[in-house]
Amino acid sequence: MEKLLLTRKEAADVLNISVDTLDELRDAKKIRCVRIGVRVYYSPDELRAFITKEGYVC
């Protein structure tokens, strides 16, 4: 079963980027997050949407 939410580290690993880069994308409003208290999480569906929108074929 797929996790509903991923931590910052897990999301960065999925995208093959650093946590700092993920934070920059979030701050630039390029990827949406879910905040629960002070913690930040990412939806796998949001990561897929980001890849589809921002990615390109090399």
Taking the complete model, does pTM exceed 0.85, yes or no?
A: yes
CA angle, 17 as apex, 12 and 18 as ends, to 5°? 75
pLDDT band at 1 (very low <50, low <70, confident <90, very high): confident
Q: What is the per-residue pLDDT across 33-57, written as a single tens digit (0 to 9) for each?
A: 999 999 999 999 999 999 999 887 7
Q: Which ranges constitute the DSSP H helices of the chain? A: 8-15, 19-27, 44-54
